[in-house]
């Protein structure tokens, strides 16, 4: 593939063509002006001869051809000088433009070299922008901002991958340990088999739930978000699905508000609201309650999910949406949590340009408040 011309070479060629075009136009204009002046002078001399203003006709007849030849020679010299001067200006102007463009684009070339040197290991190192021309400095700062965002994404990806690997390794390690203990036993009783099968079922269920969450996180980007969703009806569906769990945990469910519609992905929004209500039930107290409110505030929709459970400490509120974060790891594993439920909620709401906030008091309550745009 043919390599395109450099930017400085393009500048030089463009300016050279402009100077050449200007020179050619100037040449023809000068030639036209000289011809006009010569014709006028000849007409003036002829008028003087015919009018008798020049008495010595013999001398005049000799002078007129000499004057004509003199002006024709001068015209040719001027034309040659114009052509040579135009070519000189084109060549010198093009060279000057090339070197000036090369000098002006030097900071851009250094910026390109720095960009080529960027790798995942040094994305956090910003490119120098001090002392650069205004436009290139702005470009460098924008590129630094992009690098910072990319570095943050890669950091999150590495942390997420490490956490996911750890979460998948844990049940496998538990299964391996149980198998090793089981193999060391000489006389296997029926009770040993039952315990082994129960442990295997629990760990497989845990890994299945984790994989389901991971697949959901991967698929959220591809789903359309233009379903007309009635939030009150959607919560009513969530309550129906979670009623057995609520009855088992002795937690009451209450839904208040009105039928308000928004444009969203029905599947994703159901998953987010399901996770919020499920968490409110799991981390509640026996005899507690979960109150859900749906109401319209000006041009937005407010959704509130409030429980009477164990509450959150201030430091936990800051990390609650981080993937694989658990307030109480032992309790979360006992309840079957993978630490991805609330991070999935936050991700889904971000896709719908919605916001979520938390108000909680340790040992008393936790309230999640969601703000959604109306349809």
Q: What is the pLDDT of residue 59?
A: 46
Q: What is the pLDDT of residue 71?
A: 60
Q: What is the pLDDT of residue 58?
A: 47
Instruction: Indicate the pairing of strand 365-373 with strand 300-307.
Output: antiparallel
- What ranges in 185-230 are assigned the alpha helix state H? 190-219
What stretch of H or E contains 44? Answer: helix 7-50
Q: What is the pLDDT of residue 133?
A: 67
pTM over 0.85, yes/no: no
Q: What is the pLDDT of residue 352?
A: 87
Q: What is the chain's pLDDT, residue by residue, as a tens digit (375 residues)?
A: 555 566 566 666 777 777 777 767 766 766 666 667 667 766 766 666 666 555 444 444 444 555 556 666 666 776 676 677 767 776 777 777 777 777 767 777 777 777 777 776 667 777 777 766 667 777 778 888 888 887 777 776 776 676 667 667 767 777 788 788 778 877 777 887 888 888 788 778 777 777 776 676 666 666 677 789 999 999 999 999 999 989 999 999 999 999 999 998 888 888 889 989 999 998 899 999 999 999 998 889 999 999 998 888 888 888 888 877 766 655 545 555 556 778 888 888 888 889 999 999 988 899 999 999 876
Q: What is the pLDDT of residue 120?
A: 67
| Among the listed residues 167, 166, 176, 105, the one whose alpha carbon sits nearest the alpha carbon of residue 136 | 105
Q: What is the pLDDT of residue 57?
A: 46
Inter-residue contact 330 to 324 (CB < 8 Å): no
Q: What is the pLDDT of residue 52?
A: 58
Q: What is the pLDDT of residue 216?
A: 67
Q: Residue 50's CB: how many other CB atoms inside 10 A?
A: 9
Identify any residues that bridge with 305 across adjacent strands, giving them in sequence order: 292, 368
Backbone angles phi, psi at 358, to 5 degrees: -125, 135
Q: What is the pLDDT of residue 341?
A: 77
Q: What is the pLDDT of residue 231?
A: 93
Q: What is the pLDDT of residue 304?
A: 95
Q: What is the pLDDT of residue 4?
A: 59
């Amino acid at each position: 593939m043919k390599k395109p011309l450099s930017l400085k070479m393009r500048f030089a060629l463009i300016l050279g063509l402009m100077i050449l075009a200007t020179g050619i136009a100037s040449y023809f204009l000068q030639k036209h002006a000289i011809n006009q002046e010569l014709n006028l002078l000849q007409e003036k001399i002829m008028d003087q001869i015919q009018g008798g203003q020049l008495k010595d006709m013999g001398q005049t007849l000799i002078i007129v051809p000499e004057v004509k030849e003199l002006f024709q020679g001068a015209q040719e010299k001027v034309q040659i000088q114009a052509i040579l001067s135009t070519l000189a200006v084109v060549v010198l102007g093009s060279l000057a433009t090339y070197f000036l463009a090369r000098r002006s684009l030097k900071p851009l070339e250094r910026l390109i070299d720095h960009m080529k040197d960027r790798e995942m290991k040094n994305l956090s190192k910003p490119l120098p922008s001090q002392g650069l021309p205004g436009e290139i400095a702005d470009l460098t700062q924008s590129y630094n901002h992009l690098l910072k965002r990319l570095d943050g994404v890669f950091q999150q990806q590495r942390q997420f991958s490490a956490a996911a690997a750890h979460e998948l390794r844990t049940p496998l390690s538990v299964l391996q340990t149980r198998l090793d203990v089981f193999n060391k036993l000489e006389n296997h009783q029926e009770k040993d088999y039952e315990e082994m099968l129960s442990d295997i079922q629990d760990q497989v269920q845990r890994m299945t739930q984790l994989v389901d969450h991971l697949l959901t996180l991967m698929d959220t980007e591809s789903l359309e978000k233009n379903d007309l969703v009635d939030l009150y009806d959607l919560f009513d569906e969530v309550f129906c699905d979670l009623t057995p769990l609520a009855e088992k945990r002795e937690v009451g469910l209450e839904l208040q508000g009105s039928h308000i519609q928004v444009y969203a992905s029905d599947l994703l929004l159901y998953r987010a609201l399901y996770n919020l209500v499920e968490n409110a039930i799991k981390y509640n107290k026996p005899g507690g309650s979960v109150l859900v409110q749906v109401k319209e505030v000006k041009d937005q929709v407010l959704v509130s999910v409030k429980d009477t459970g164990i509450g959150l400490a201030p430091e936990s509120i800051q990390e609650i949406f981080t993937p694989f974060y658990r307030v109480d790891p032992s309790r979360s594993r006992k309840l079957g949590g993978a630490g991805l439920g609330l991070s999935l909620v936050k991700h889904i709401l971000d896709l719908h340009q919605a916001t979520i906030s938390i108000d909680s008091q340790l040992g008393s309550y936790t309230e999640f408040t969601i703000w959604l745009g109306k349809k």
